Structure 1
Amino acid sequence: MRKLSKGLVLLLFILMGVGISQPVFAQVTKLRGKVIDADTQEPLPFVNIAFKGTTIGTTTDFDGNYFLETRTPTDSLHISFVGYKGRAFKVLKGTFQTLDIELHSEAVSLQEIRILPGENPAHILLRKIIARKKKNNPSRLESYQYETYTKMEMDLNNIGEDFKNKKIMRQFQFVFDYVDTSVVTGKSYLPVFITESLSDYYYRKSPKLEREVIKASQMSGIEDNASLAQFTGQLHQNINIYDNFIDLFNKGFVSPIADGGLSYYKYYLTDSAYRDGNWSYHMSFKPKRKLDPCFVGDFWVADTTFAIDIMKMRITKDVNLNWVKDLVSTNEYQKLNDSTWFLKKQNLFVDFMLTDRDSTSQMGFFGRKTISYRDVKLNVPIRKEIVKLENNVIVNDDALGKEATYWDNARPFKLSKRESGIYAMVDSIQNVPLYRNIIDIIQTFVTGYYTKGNFEYGPYYKLYSFNEIEGNRFMFGGRTSNDFSTKVMYNAHLAYGDKDNRLKYGLGFLYMINKLPRETFGMQWKHDIHQLGKSPNAFTEGNILASLLKRNPNNKLTMLNQFEAHYEKEWFQGFMNTLKFRYRDISPTPIVPFVSPNGDLPIAGIKASEIELRTRWTRNEKVVMGEFERVHFGGPVPIVNLYLTMGVKNLLGSNHEYFKADLSVDHTLELQPLGKLRYLATASKLFGKVPYPLLSLHEGNETYAFDPYAFNMMNYFEFASDQYVSLSLEHHFHGFILNRIPLFKKLKWRSVVTAKGLWGTLSDKNNGALTNSEAKMIFPAGLSDVKDPYFEASVGIENIFKFFRVDAMWRLNHLEPNPNQDFEEFGIRAMFQMTF
């Protein structure tokens, strides 16, 4: 990932954040504890706990635990449970308190009760909720708009005295005045990153339209960054309890009110009461099986409409999810009219842990997000100026740098005294040299470059490598940093091989004409080695991992002189064109010879001049942008790429005239509870007569690293075509299978399967493998067409030690012995990956 700000790198590293500071104070009261039977010492579930005279309260979970946090408590807490004597306690406002409670049973004289067999009343209520889901789901509405306030915070947790007294923390002693305690976990924490935003959001069902206009945004500890403001703005709508599956950390959790909820949950009807003028029922739920992606929690549902009033969900302890120790989501709704309920507030709390050790001294991170919805309007026409906006998320020109008085009025709640000082404290951390050094290390690891002043040195993984052509390869390179300019970035590199004794180099620039919508212009010159027929995901030339993980001699490299110039224009979010001119001069080697059809006349090189038009289309894609580059996270619809390439004859020495069209469709389908399926379909057609380096040389992989975009059991220079279709399928089961096997259940491994197929043909004029070839160039030994389709498949295990995936792969056909291709029928491939 390139040229991202330090704040954005930190945000991506843990995917959460926060920001605040004001002179008007409120008190935050926090309570947590456990309720038990005074005689048996057994935990009591479903105990009602509420502030006296209010509807602010909670119930104990199945283990008798509770937690409660509010800004508007009374000074008295009331506890009640059927069959037990009620109790009341004084509460200290504005503090954290642990309050463990013992309840004494109460003798009650009851008349005879006759219990007859019948259906669980909770199941009857659940069926009514499911029957009204479509009507109560906000996504059914034709259009709506609202104002939303989003606050996100990242905290360092488990701050103990040992940590405070460490030598490395001497420069940070001033921050410990802001240590607080989490009501959810009881861990101490220290805020280290804050952001908040105020937006107007617009939605229309048909024709589909989504717009978010960010009116105000502030982030502590980093420079004003419109791109980061845009990214954090997109995070406000990611949990809809009315969906059957809720996407959290790329894993589909079963909603407690899913259509098939009875297959995953046990339900308990525990109470009924008036809430804000509505007769409501209280229901608790917990998973039937361990490791299933489910929640434990409770909700209140209104009678008659059977709309959810408030729902609290918490992931189970044994769920197969990496890095996340705990997660709590609270969704509160507001009644707009007699038949429509809409979101009022969402809270998300995540406890990130880097290890599985259950230790009170193990440090980690909290991610906290609060979203408030107000001024909700239904079926109101969206203004024309909003419809005409070119991007889904727009940051107003005056959104950054709002005064403190603006935020006082914008927030739906007042800040506590502690919160009011956090913003300045977090900013102060940035001035500590040690903190800046830590961020530099993280940024170097993520981007591959070390930043010093106006220059970024790297990438570090290309400093040294080796191959059969160059021998030991040494490279030094870099690019200008954001401190040099946020409009133009220059890059350059030098490389030298001690075997071929040749100097290689490259240099170029990228000019940012406009960031939103994106518009760029750039040029690049390269005189270096190149691997023909590699996938876009393969290790780049000079990468040390390509040298260490090779499974065949790395000798099919060619020397390339290449010039590229491009103009890129994003017309609106999701639709982009790139116009590119490319000149290539490719030189042969003894392993990759260029020989004329008569078989005895070597060709010094291939020169080709191309004009290419790229079109990329998708919708509602999640994108994170730095100053020059951006990272795409996909979206709900396929990504369609169309490349149209024209070879121009007699331009810069080129003597090849041709036209080529390439089409690809890439998409990931959520097939919960079975996991997710990613498919990539491609097709290509070349018109004209060209030498084989300009054909489609199908992407092989000659390393032991798994490449999702390549045929991993295919070699380089094995198959070529001038027209082809291919399909790649990869299904991740997310533990659906292995979670049900005792041994693998503990390991938390996950299964994955892939299947890939390719079919292509060569016209006689381009088939350099024919005896009487009409082609411009004879194929090197081992290269042929693929008119007999090629297939390969694999079965793999991922989440090994949380970082590794290993696949057992089979080449299913083209198994005839070939003295010119040393292929494998069966192989093991592995890859490093970080997934939740």
Structure 2
Amino acid sequence: MKKNKNKTKLILIIAFSTLAFTQTSIAQITKIRGKVMDADTKELLSFVTLAFKGTSIGTITDSKGEFFLETRGATDSLSISYVGYDPKSVAIRKGQYQEITIELKAASFAIEGITVVPGENPAHPILRSIIKNKWKNDPDKLESYSYESYNKLEVDLNNVDDKMKQRKIFNQFQFIFDYVDTNAITGKTFLPIFISEAISDYHYQRSPKVDKEVIKATKISGVKNESVAQFTGKIYQKINIYDNYINVFDQGLVSPIADAGLFYYKYYLIDSAFIDHKWCYQISFKPKRKMEPTFTGDFWVNDSTWAIVKAQVRLADKVNLNFVNDMVASAEYQLINDTLWFPKQISLFVDFNLTDKTTGFFGRKTTAYNKVRLKEPIQDTIQSLQSNVVVQEGALKQNEEYWNKTRPFELTQKEAGIYRMVDSVQNVPMYKTFIDIINMFVNYYYVVGYVEIGPYYKTYSFNEIEGNRFRVSGRTSNKFSKKIMFSSFLAYGDKDNRFKYGLGALYMIKKKPRQAINLEYKEDIEQLGQSPYALTEDNLMTSVLRRNPNYKLTLVKELSGYYQKEWFTGLSNTLNFSYRNIYSSDSIPFKYVSGGPELNKVTNFSLTLNTRWLKDEKFVTGEFDRVSLGSKFPEVNFEITGSYKGVLGSQFTYAKLHVNYYHKFTINPFGYTRFIIDCGKIFGTVPYPLLQLHEGNETYAFDRFAFNMMNYYEFASDQYSSITLEHHFQGFFLNRIPLMRRLKWREVTTGKFLIGSISDKNKKVLEFPYGMGEVSKPYAEAGIGIENIFKVIRIDATWRLTHLDNPNIEKFGIRAGLQIIF
């Protein structure tokens, strides 16, 4: 859809692609799911070893006695062994899904009496050796390396059953059910709906830091977009078992070999064997406590290097992670130069579901590593690449012969058919209608041929100035043009009996790196001093959630535009111009301090140059809009604004400097923090509408970027500094309270601080509205809240700490918000 036609199709793909955690050639996958029990007592048995006969492909049962196996390298029988029981072999059906229950007979033999002497858990000294040697075994600690990687990403619709097949909506899609399969991990049926593959050259250097990926070939079902193609590579899916915490959707999950692993896990030494002619130990682990951010699983470790050789981790039961019903990651390592165990194949499986029974999605990612080279100098041409991920020209056009030769394994018949199936689905009229409806809810616009109608949430609202406000708005669709977009709106209030309107045009000069021109004109009312991220005044939710009658709206006529140029990923400049007339009203009059007739309007023409820097930022780009996926680095914005009296009717000469710093970072295991610093200074003499009107909030909706206990027009400054600190504990405390942890609520705290001043010359231009003043005495507010209520609701209790004698203020308030978080 607009401006991001592929956005709806890719929501699940991108959510899954911000993660990640093996090489056979048989184009059949054998899937086994089952349990092992005592033949006499029917007790489920933990840590039973199962392996395909004649191979090293196998697994162990978990603490519940359950297991799963999924491989392209199966043989015709499965060998089972367990201390104290007779070994057993069972026949299996290659290339099929099967569920089996295995019963083991206890071995009968006589032994002499033994004495058990207490001592240290034998797994603990092994774990300490792993931790001690992480610095030399962690690939990220190497000086440099490079390799060729193969990545396969698949998204599947799960819990597909006969009832779904019989629904009328699928009458035109019956052919897709030929691709239904069963997942060995969950036992759920699924239907593949997306598949992508990529071949990349990856280059890493620790100092100076180089982290580059060149995608040589990529193949995506139903999507031909290079900005999407970059997410089929490896660089955005970094999960490293050697890290103390593995960040999954803002949750810092404790690695089983974390430095503090003994505090979180119980370990069991269960086996030892040769792997690649190296003696290795197998250790199983499980959480010590419920609902902590941990895994279950096992790993193999070499007894001389203490490097991980194989590992499989599974999300522990009831971890406080939304919409993720299950997650399994497995890793296999290869010996390089007889000293270093480097990743060979890493796989990730995620089950996205509201509940175990509802229809949801599987996300599956497999990465294979080939042609690994250590300590080789990285070419200057690679180091000089402006983006961390580069899609090579022609990467989307590689033929089938190339893929058959380059893939580390052959696709199954169903996997290969997904490309054809998805393309066929997109040609079905019902599919196009379905996508349009979904797009309407995701993007707030409904596509009708050459136009898009919306955003729908602005169709009706109400306020004290306009009464009932009705609005019709829209913009041209991608079908009209992929280079230029026109937009417009028309609104009417039945109380002021006045039409408002706006027109706009956006022209894309270049999409990568981004270069665009925008021009807009509007005649409408707006709330001065409102956070740019707040609910807009013509939003129905703003009308419903208002805590004060709003008489402070102001009529504004504005012609504005910008030229934006992105120099390379992360660095851009935007040159804005604004010709703006702000009109006085009964509630917000413009009266000279010196007396005389009231000023009808403030006219101002200004130019602003914005410089924005966000290192390693990632985007999903549509034809016009793009969605930022952020970065682990801070974002910095620096702006210079200037206006000169007499130019296009400007009434004042001034200059303004503005700096904003935003950083989101994790503090495992205590959650993550958002930190914002905002500073500005105005040089010259200006009336109060041109001062910095600090962002208040007169609704019950929580606004992260506003002062939630401050009123509009309460404080203004010509020089100011503010700090916002918001910390999300991710259930760190509530998860430890037996009854509360079932709710999966999460704690959040906020603190906001502001200090500023107004020079005497600016106080003498226009009389300030009632209640407005400066903030030379600092303003502060603090709050505590609970988020993740029903997975989408956040409620904050907020206290105003200073300026408690100001008129018409609240000292305490409850604010609520809707948010989708994992």
The TM-score bracket by the shorter chain reads: over 0.9
How far 1:788 sits from its partner (Å)?
0.5
1:548-575 CA-partner distances (Å, limit 9, x unpaired): 1111112211111112221111112111
Q: Which amino acid aligns with 1:676?
A: Y
- 1:76-91 counterparts in 2 under 5 A? 76-91=77-92
CA shift at 1:111, angstroms? Answer: 4.9
Q: Is the 8 A contact 1:611 1:648 kept in 2?
A: no
Give the distance between the partners of 1:233 and 1:466, measured in 2 at CA. 48
Which runs of structure 2 are paired with 1:63-82 in the superposition (5 Å)? Answer: 63-82=64-83
**For the residues of structure 1 that align with 2:752 and 2:707, how far apart are their CA atoms?**
7
CA offsets 1:716-761 (integer angstroms, 9 cap, x no match)? 0000011111111111110101111122111111111101110101
State the match for 1:386 in structure 2.
382
Q: How does 1:76-155 map to 2 (within 5 A)?
A: 76-155=77-156
Structure 1 Cα separation of the partners of residues 710 and 595 of structure 2: 27
Q: Give the Cα–Cα distance (whole angstroms) in 2 for the partners of residues 271 and 13 of structure 1.
A: 39
Whole-Å Cα distance in 1 between the matches of residues 175 and 505 of structure 2?
Answer: 43
* d(CA) in 2 for partners of 1:665, 1:418: 49
Q: Is the 8 A contact 2:349 2:364 kept in 1?
A: yes
The answer to whether the 8 Å contact 2:152/2:232 transfers is no
Alignment of 1:618-767 (within 5 A): 618-767=614-763
- Alpha-carbon separation, structure 2, partners of 1:188 and 1:461: 37
The structural deviation recorded for 1:812 is 0.9
Residue among 542, 545, 566 paired with 2:541: 545
Alignment of 1:559-574 (within 5 A): 559-574=555-570
Contact 1:83 1:106 (8 Å CA) reproduced: yes
Farther off after superposition, 104-113 or 587-596? 104-113
Structure 2 residue matching 1:40: 3-state secondary structure: coil
Secondary structure at the aligned position of 1:325 is classed as strand
| Aligned positions of 1:181-580 closer than 5 A | 181-222=182-223, 224-233=224-233, 236-354=236-354, 356=355, 358-359=356-357, 362-580=358-576
Q: Distance in 1 between matches of 2:118 and 2:231?
A: 55
- How far does the alpha carbon of each residue in 1:513-550 deviate from its partner, in whole angstroms, 9 at most, with x for none? 22121111211111111211011211123111111111
CA distance in 2, matches of 1:560, 1:635: 36
Contact kept in structure 2, 1:455 and 1:478, CA below 8 Å: yes
Name the TM-score, length of structure 2 as normaliser: 0.97
For 1:798, what is the secondary structure of its paired residue?
strand
CA distance in 2, matches of 1:294, 1:599: 69
**1:781 matched to which residue of 2?**
770
In 1, are the aligned partners of 2:2 and 2:478 still within 8 Å (CA)?
Answer: no
In 2 relative to 1, CA 518–248 (structure 1 residues): closer, same or farther, beyond 3 Å?
A: same
Equivalent-residue separation in structure 1 for 2:542 and 2:424 (angstroms): 43
In the TM superposition, what whole-angstrom CA distance separates every residue of 1:417-473 from its partner, at most 9, and x where no partner exists? 222222211221112222222211221111111112221111001111111111111
Question: 2-side partners of 1:103 and 1:12: how far apart?
Answer: 46
TM-aligned CA distance change 1:202 to 1:581, over 3 Å: same
CA contact (8 A) 1:11 1:17 kept: no
Q: Number of matched residues?
A: 815
How many angstroms does 1:817 deviate by? 4.8
Work out the CA distance in 2 between the residues paired with 1:347 and 1:669.
26
Note the residue ranges of structure 2 that are not aligned, 5 or more in a row. Answer: 18-24
Q: Does 1:835 align with 2:821?
A: yes
* Secondary structure in 2 matching 1:633: strand
Displacement of 1:338 after TM fit? 3.2
Residue 317 of structure 1 deviates from its aligned partner by 2.0
Normalization by structure 1: what TM-score?
Answer: 0.95
| Matches of 2:414 and 2:754, distance apart in 1 | 62
Q: Is the 8 A contact 1:16 1:154 kept in 2?
A: no
Q: CA distance change for structure 1 residues 237 and 377 in 2, over 3 Å: closer, same or farther?
A: farther
CA distance in 1, matches of 2:561, 2:533: 22
Q: Which moved more, 1:794-803 or 1:496-505?
A: 496-505
Task: Give per-residue Cα distances to partners, 1:474-533, cap 9 Å, x unaligned.
Answer: 111111111222222111111111222222111121121221211112111111112110
Match of 1:824 in 2: 810
How far did 1:154 drift?
1.2
1:236 to 1:49, Cα distance in 2 relative to 1, 3 A: farther
Q: Secondary structure at the match of 2:397?
A: coil
Contact 2:571 2:614 in 1 (8 A): yes
Distance 1:534 1:371 in 2: 47
AA matched with 1:612: T
Match of 2:20 in 1: none
Moved more, 8-17 or 598-607: 8-17
The letter of the residue matching 1:12 is: I
Deviation of the 1:623 alpha carbon:
2.2
Q: Which amino acid aligns with 1:26?
A: A
Cα deviation code 1:83-139 (max 9, x no counterpart): 111111222211111121000011234455433222111111100000011111111
Letter in 2 for 1:791: A
Partner in structure 1 of residue 21 of structure 2 = none
Q: Counterpart of 1:265 in structure 2: which amino acid?
A: Y
Confirm or deny that 1:160 pairs with 2:161.
yes
Consecutive unaligned residues of structure 1, counting only runs of 5 or more, are 19-23, 768-774
Query: Which 10-residue stretch deviates more, 262-271 or 148-157?
Result: 148-157
Q: Structure 1: how far apart are the matches of 2:810 and 2:350?
A: 45
Whole-Å Cα distance in 2 between the matches of residues 698 and 442 of structure 1?
37
The one-letter amino acid of 1:11's match is L
Deviation of 1:275 after TM superposition, in Å, equals: 0.6
- In the TM superposition, residue 17 of structure 1 has moved relative to its aligned partner by 7.5
SS of equivalent residue, structure 1 residue 438: helix
Cα gap change, 1:193 to 1:349, in 2 (>3 Å):
same
What is the one-letter code of the residue matched to 1:8?
K
Structure 1 distance, partners of 2:88, 2:591, is 93
| 8 Å Cα contact 1:149-1:199 kept in structure 2 | yes
Do the aligned partners of 1:610 and 1:647 also contact (CA within 8 Å) in 2?
yes
Letter in 1 for 2:821: T
Equivalent-residue separation in structure 2 for 1:485 and 1:643 (angstroms): 32
Q: What residue in structure 2 maps to residue 791 of structure 1?
A: 780
Is the 8 Å Cα contact of residues 654 and 685 (structure 2) preserved in structure 1? Answer: yes
| Structure-1 separation of matches of 2:133 and 2:481 | 56
Change (3 A) 1:227 1:176: same
**Distance of 2:393 and 2:556 partners within structure 1:** 45
Match of 2:7 in 1: 8
Separation (CA, whole Å) in 2 of partners of 1:648 and 1:379: 58
Structure 1 letter corresponding to 2:574 = T
Corresponding residue to 2:797 among 784, 797, 808:
808
| Residue 626 to residue 157, structure 1, CA distance change in 2 (3 Å) | same
Task: Please give the secondary structure, in 1, of the residue aligned with 2:164.
Answer: helix
2:22 is aligned to none
- Deviation at residue 813 of structure 1 after TM alignment: 1.3
Q: 1:212 & 1:507 partners in 2: Cα distance?
A: 42
CA drift of 1:235 comes to: 5.7
Provide the alpha-carbon RMSD of the alignment: 1.6
Structure 2 CA distance for aligned equivalents of residues 383 and 486 of structure 1: 37
Query: What SS class does the counterpart of residue 56 from structure 2 fall into?
Result: coil
